[in-house]
Amino acid sequence: MATDDLEKRVAALEVEVAKLKATSDSTAERPHQWWNEIAGSFADDPVYEEAMRLGREWRESFRPKSRTRKKDTHDGS
């Protein structure tokens, strides 16, 4: 491969890398906050409320049940 061709390819790659860096730097400064776009879109939606209730119920089903202490019938006398 001729040196001129190699230099042209390296120059083209350097331009592309510079473009990629510029793109990634601008997105790294301010990440896209998608939740701000949908916040409030389910307000007063009974189907959404039911889905949240069912999800909460399902998650709580995995929590360990609290044990109730048996009363000590032996008074220690």
Tell me the per-residue pLDDT of 7-30, one tens digit each, with 9 for 90 and over: 999 999 999 999 998 887 665 666
Distance, in Å, from the CA atom of 31 to the CA atom of 12, rounded to the nearest integer, reads 29
pTM of the predicted protein model: 0.40
Q: What is the total residue count of the chain?
A: 77
Is 60 exceeded by the pLDDT of residue 75?
Answer: no
Structure-block tokens of residue 44: 């007063």
61, amino acid identity: S
Q: Which string of b and e fits 41-51 if b means at least 16 CB within 10 Å?
A: eeeeeeeeeee
The residues spanned by each domain of the chain are 3-60
pLDDT score of 65: 85
